[in-house]
Chains A and B, each alone.
Chain A
């Protein structure tokens, strides 16, 4: 008689589930929160925030003690998602909605048709679960489902986040474009399956290492990348970002700027890894098309994001376009791939966490600002913030300076990491574009700081400004983390490095490059730098 445990399939399932405890915990918590949120008792409904908080913290701890077979990438991402999830939760909970109530305390009276606290936290947890699942994916179908699990709850979150009609409008826009994007990358996945005959990422990698990137596979990868550029809000799928970010309540905007983006980048890392990092395959393996696409998209994303941000008058739209620009910087690292001396993948992972931390701080302030009960959205609303709330303004300034990339803040280290990776892979031209556009970005970030510190509101404006809370926990924690991680930046570097370690090794074994002396290695990459542009033009000409 065969016992269940002896069945190899069941064994495999068991091993897989053993690595998924954090996700399972979050899913269970999501349903608990949804059910508890329907309770007629106020106290119970208010406990949803606590349950969410504890569940996220526990999931983070569980992820830290994951079993051996979980990849470094998954562990790093899970912990990062939990930490930033907690920050986002703080931001969500303390920001009052347009009726002046915050999500944490909710309405006193039970009105089943009005309440959406429980569902909100439930969707929040499900979306974070999606990111975590993305990181652990080893199969295209799993990847697709995880991506959709990340995105679907966000459509609802956007729609129910505000009472204003703009929220459902934003939600509908987001949903339809999201569906289009999902269809696009699913089509790409289908073509990849058609080209390689398997959905397992590792087997796809083997097939491509064996046969090279066939035209069909290249088409699949390019279409998949275009589709995923929706998730990371990169050109050409960036159009929704400004409208949706503006329409959603600010804490939800902060959520949108991090969670789907993280999922998108993880997916890109995984499928580019399956494609054998086309950068390396450049010699006769047919990866030029993929490289050219990522190169052009990265350059356009940085330029369009930063230039459009410069033209906005609405702060949320500024941050929306700046979030597009930050995606562009990360794509530069993605293009570098595991690299030959600096790991671009690890730079992307580092930057993701850094961006998540500093971004929450920036959005938290904007969420707190109210004018006559409405969400405050223009630069004018920032006037005199430094005089009214010095600590808050200082924390805001720290986050913005970090986003600008002023050393020694974490944003600077992120850029240093990304750009040393791209320069060491020979993408000097792209790096210069990145640096120039980040100088453009300095202008609009600085404009916000200047408005806070250097301009006092006139009397009419002063009358309209609603009172601000004394302190903001999310902002303080976020700015504190920025400062802490900036000074003690080593551990995050080595954490990201450890997470991306697998890629570099897998790569060298896949392409079976002979180990060369260091000098020769450098030589080859400088040569590569010289044909960076040639390759691009030839690919574009095709």
Chain B
């Protein structure tokens, strides 16, 4: 029996125990910094709604200060992280949320999560600073809402990467939709409403399957231990015992949701529209961080939870990835809108990420994770560059723009630099990921193989073609500007240089010396791959007994083919 007074009492009790649990969390004060970051963004974001509408300057400065503060906190987290054991979930904070179903509010990071959180917190202040130029244009009068949604988006993203509870992950995953829906829908271009709704519905429709799979896996865990929990570690441990058909269904469910988010060919069709219509900041975060939720989800959940199904279907998924790489690259080639070109290039690049993941070896997955981060930096920067051109000329058509190298030398320098980073010029960051994912696909003994690597490399060449073609048109050649703005446009100002420089430095550093980052990924990836090693030893045993299954035979053949 549950009276009103009882209800209030339990509410108080719950709050009390949650607070006590937070206070007693192991790891001391620094552990609480991660939820602090997420909650700070959310809280300050919604608090911005109460700011006076006229005070746009105050609003934008507040947003900048908060996002910078969050970046500084994330640096503190990074420095207090124990890098000698990057595979372990550190700085864990737990509190009961819904005891009936075992849902917990639990956050913690391993090295992969931490790098992705750093990417988020690093990009956000830069894109907020970058958006100041729009304040006279599209944002005029509604700056409050704009920064509100950006901050809420940042909070949700941090929650996704830090979540150690499946439901908390899912909450963050879905919560990213709402801010981006408003960012695209309110501040976007001519077709913004269609773009916003399409983006929302596509992702939501995909994620309901993920949701079903999540509940099923949690239920399976319950049947084995008798307790409902959505703890990622516990569920991952239990999930490997699912039967082959269960694993297939779970993989399918997880895969549909994450593939839409990635976006993988053929469910990528929401992306170009969303990108072209979104305001610059929206595009930066969408391409820079949001797309990685898909690959992160595949890495965290699909690979460890349904290993046998992954082994069985990795080739098929690899085909989708390779087709996506080439198909999107070909589409890029014929684009006339610079922003659309970069949007499609994201589809192509994310194909490499997925390919690397399903190579199921250290090189492939490590390359894929580092590709996620590098793609976030270089594509984010490219979107910022395109946004800067758009605020000057109000066009993004390659036909209207030419020879900008003479008119805007500083901008052109940055543009060429980031394009090279994106193409994968050795020495810049894009190269590391591309090389490793292809190497992974090439040398994989578990799935994929030499043909996948060969076709993916074709995408690499196409990538160079379309980017250089675009650069040749826009940066080189005779000067051509829209008449209205001819001669009136000035080069990048100090603020804009300040936005792009840190990104350029990051691209360069990660290109020249990626080893520490790669090293830190080894341990968590080993953790994921250990499941596959177990399966292989099991298969080897059964094969030794003379009952070698079809799958292991196939793998053995491939081992002979690949050097």
* Inter-subunit contact B212/A401 (CB<8 Å): no
* Inter-subunit contact A416/B215 (CB<8 Å): yes
With A341-B223, A490-B10 already in contact, 5 other A-B pairs whose C-beta atoms are closer than 8 Å: A417-B101, A420-B219, A435-B209, A518-B226, A519-B224
Q: Which of A72, A390, A442 has the most CB of B within 10 A?
A: A442
Interface string of B188-231 (1 = CB under 8 A from A): 00001100110011001100110110011011101111101000
Q: With contacts A401-B178, A522-B222 known, is A497 near B100, CB below 8 A?
A: yes
Q: With contacts A439-B205, A454-B185, A488-B11 known, is A494 near B216, CB below 8 A?
A: no
Contact of B223 among A419, A431, A498, A526 (CB under 8 A): A526
* Inter-subunit contact A495/B171 (CB<8 Å): no
Q: Does A61 contact B (CB under 8 A)?
A: yes
* Inter-subunit contact B2/A450 (CB<8 Å): no
* Inter-subunit contact B174/A498 (CB<8 Å): no
Contact of A79 among B3, B99, B197 (CB under 8 A): B3
Q: With contacts A447-B197, A490-B14 known, is A420 near B1, CB below 8 A?
A: no
Q: Does A379 contact B (CB under 8 A)?
A: no
The distance from the CB of B250 to the nearest CB of chain A, in whole angstroms, is 11
Q: With contacts A75-B1, A435-B208, A519-B224 known, is A420 near B196, CB below 8 A?
A: no
* List of B residues within 8 angstroms of A388 by Cβ: none
* Inter-subunit contact B228/A493 (CB<8 Å): no
Task: Sample 27 A-B pairs with CB under 8 A, ordered by A number.
Answer: A61-B4, A64-B6, A75-B3, A79-B4, A341-B219, A341-B223, A342-B228, A406-B175, A406-B178, A407-B170, A412-B174, A416-B167, A416-B215, A420-B218, A420-B228, A428-B216, A431-B212, A439-B205, A439-B208, A442-B200, A454-B196, A488-B15, A495-B10, A518-B223, A518-B225, A522-B220, A522-B223
Q: Does A436 contact B (CB under 8 A)?
A: yes
* List of B residues within 8 angstroms of A454 by Cβ: 185-186, 192-193, 196
The distance from the CB of B255 to the nearest CB of chain A, in whole angstroms, is 15
* Inter-subunit contact B2/A75 (CB<8 Å): yes
* List of A residues within 8 angstroms of B224 by Cβ: 519, 522
* Inter-subunit contact B226/A446 (CB<8 Å): no
Could you tell me how many residues of chain B have their Cβ less than 8 Å away from some Cβ of chain A? Answer: 53
The distance from the CB of B191 to the nearest CB of chain A, in whole angstroms, is 11
Q: Does B534 contact A (CB under 8 A)?
A: no
* List of B residues within 8 angstroms of A497 by Cβ: 100
- State which residues 90-105 of B face A: CB under 8 Å: 96-101
* Inter-subunit contact A424/B212 (CB<8 Å): no
Q: With contacts A406-B178, A438-B208, A490-B97 known, is A450 near B225, CB below 8 A?
A: no
* Inter-subunit contact A490/B2 (CB<8 Å): no
* List of A residues within 8 angstroms of B3 by Cβ: 64-65, 75, 79
* List of B residues within 8 angstroms of A60 by Cβ: 4
* List of B residues within 8 angstroms of A76 by Cβ: 2
Q: Does B537 contact A (CB under 8 A)?
A: no
Nearest B residue to A82, CB-CB = B4
Q: Does B47 contact A (CB under 8 A)?
A: no
Interface string of B167-179 (1 = CB under 8 A from A): 1001100110110
- State which residues 489-531 of A face B: CB under 8 Å: 489-491, 493-495, 497-499, 518-519, 521-523, 525-526
In Å, the complex CA distance between A75 and B205 comes to: 38
Contact of A490 among B99, B182, B208 (CB under 8 A): B99
* Inter-subunit contact B219/A523 (CB<8 Å): no
The distance from the CB of B315 to the nearest CB of chain A, in whole angstroms, is 26
The distance from the CB of A530 to the nearest CB of chain B, in whole angstroms, is 10
Interface string of A430-462 (1 = CB under 8 A from B): 011001101100110011001001110000000
* List of A residues within 8 angstroms of B7 by Cβ: 79, 491, 495
The distance from the CB of A61 to the nearest CB of chain B, in whole angstroms, is 7
Contact of A406 among B11, B100, B174 (CB under 8 A): B174
* Inter-subunit contact B215/A419 (CB<8 Å): yes
Nearest B residue to A387, CB-CB = B142
In Å, the complex CA distance between A435 and B206 comes to: 10
The distance from the CB of A132 to the nearest CB of chain B, in whole angstroms, is 15
In Å, the complex CA distance between A447 and B194 comes to: 10
* Inter-subunit contact A455/B193 (CB<8 Å): yes
The 4 closest A-B pairs by CB, nearest first: A522-B223, A518-B226, A64-B3, A407-B171
* Inter-subunit contact B197/A521 (CB<8 Å): no
- State which residues 233-261 of B face A: CB under 8 Å: 249
Q: Does A408 contact B (CB under 8 A)?
A: yes
In Å, the complex CA distance between A269 and B211 comes to: 27
Contact of A72 among B2, B177, B186, B196 (CB under 8 A): B2
* Inter-subunit contact A450/B196 (CB<8 Å): yes
The distance from the CB of A426 to the nearest CB of chain B, in whole angstroms, is 10
Q: With contacts A72-B1, A406-B177, A490-B10 known, is A432 near B212, CB below 8 A?
A: yes
In Å, the complex CA distance between A290 and B194 comes to: 44
Q: With contacts A341-B228, A423-B219 known, is A442 near B201, CB below 8 A?
A: yes
Q: Which of A72, A439, A497 has the most CB of B within 10 A?
A: A439
* Inter-subunit contact B174/A407 (CB<8 Å): yes
* List of A residues within 8 angstroms of B220 by Cβ: 522
> What's the dominant secondary structure at chain A's contact region?
helix
* Inter-subunit contact B171/A408 (CB<8 Å): yes
- State which residues 38-64 of B face A: CB under 8 Å: 49
* Inter-subunit contact A424/B4 (CB<8 Å): no
Q: Does B5 contact A (CB under 8 A)?
A: yes
The distance from the CB of A141 to the nearest CB of chain B, in whole angstroms, is 26
Nearest B residue to A406, CB-CB = B174
The distance from the CB of B432 to the nearest CB of chain A, in whole angstroms, is 35
The distance from the CB of A308 to the nearest CB of chain B, in whole angstroms, is 18
What number of A-B contacts does a CB cutoff of 8 Å give? Answer: 151
> What's the dominant secondary structure at chain B's contact region?
helix
In Å, the complex CA distance between A9 and B96 comes to: 48
* List of A residues within 8 angstroms of B101 by Cβ: 342, 416-417, 420, 493
In Å, the complex CA distance between A446 and B201 comes to: 9
Residues of A near any B CB (own CB < 8 A):
60-61, 64-66, 68, 70, 72, 75-76, 79, 341-342, 390, 394, 401, 404, 406-408, 412-413, 416-417, 419-420, 423-424, 428, 431-432, 435-436, 438-439, 442-443, 446-447, 450, 453-455, 488-491, 493-495, 497-499, 518-519, 521-523, 525-526
- State which residues 1-27 of B face A: CB under 8 Å: 1-7, 10-11, 14-15
* Inter-subunit contact B1/A66 (CB<8 Å): yes
Nearest B residue to A420, CB-CB = B215
Contact of B212 among A407, A419, A488 (CB under 8 A): A419
* List of A residues within 8 angstroms of B6 by Cβ: 64
* List of B residues within 8 angstroms of A75 by Cβ: 1-3
* Inter-subunit contact B204/A491 (CB<8 Å): no
Q: With contacts A75-B3, A499-B2 known, is A493 near B208, CB below 8 A?
A: no
The distance from the CB of B6 to the nearest CB of chain A, in whole angstroms, is 8
In Å, the complex CA distance between A431 and B219 comes to: 13
In Å, the complex CA distance between A372 and B10 comes to: 48
Contact of A64 among B4, B11, B208 (CB under 8 A): B4
In Å, the complex CA distance between A495 and B9 comes to: 12
In Å, the complex CA distance between A75 and B3 comes to: 7
In Å, the complex CA distance between A66 and B2 comes to: 10
Nearest A residue to B15, CB-CB = A488
* List of A residues within 8 angstroms of B204 by Cβ: 404, 439, 442
The distance from the CB of B516 to the nearest CB of chain A, in whole angstroms, is 36
The distance from the CB of A490 to the nearest CB of chain B, in whole angstroms, is 5
Nearest B residue to A60, CB-CB = B4
Nearest A residue to B53, CB-CB = A390
* Inter-subunit contact B211/A435 (CB<8 Å): yes
* List of A residues within 8 angstroms of B100 by Cβ: 417, 490, 493-494, 497
The distance from the CB of B495 to the nearest CB of chain A, in whole angstroms, is 30
The distance from the CB of B60 to the nearest CB of chain A, in whole angstroms, is 19
The distance from the CB of A399 to the nearest CB of chain B, in whole angstroms, is 14
The distance from the CB of A437 to the nearest CB of chain B, in whole angstroms, is 9
The distance from the CB of B56 to the nearest CB of chain A, in whole angstroms, is 16
* Inter-subunit contact A493/B98 (CB<8 Å): yes
Contact of B185 among A79, A450, A495, A525 (CB under 8 A): A450
In Å, the complex CA distance between A225 and B87 comes to: 55
In Å, the complex CA distance between A525 and B224 comes to: 12
